[in-house]
Structure 1
C-alpha cells in the first residue's frame, strides 16, 4: 500500500506543476489576445 501513496504524492506534484504552467500559458495567451484586439 506504501507504493500507492507514493504514486499519488508524485501525481499531486505533477498536477501542481502542470496547473502552474497552464496558468502561465493562459495569462500569456490572454495578453497576446488583448493586444491583437486593442
Structure 2
C-alpha cells in the first residue's frame, strides 16, 4: 500500500519536517511493519 505523510513538530531542530510532504510504502513483516518513506521535491 502507498501513503502520503506529513509531519508536525514544535521542535526548532526538526522544524524542517513541517515544510515537507512525503510518500511511501508499507509492508507487514513477522518482526513488525516496515515503512519506506521518500521526500517529495
Shared fold, TM over 0.5:
no
Greater percentage in strand: 2
Greater percentage in helix: 1
Larger Rg: 1
Greater RCO, CA 8 A, separation 6+: 2
User: What TM-score, normalized by structure 2, do the two folds share?
Assistant: 0.17
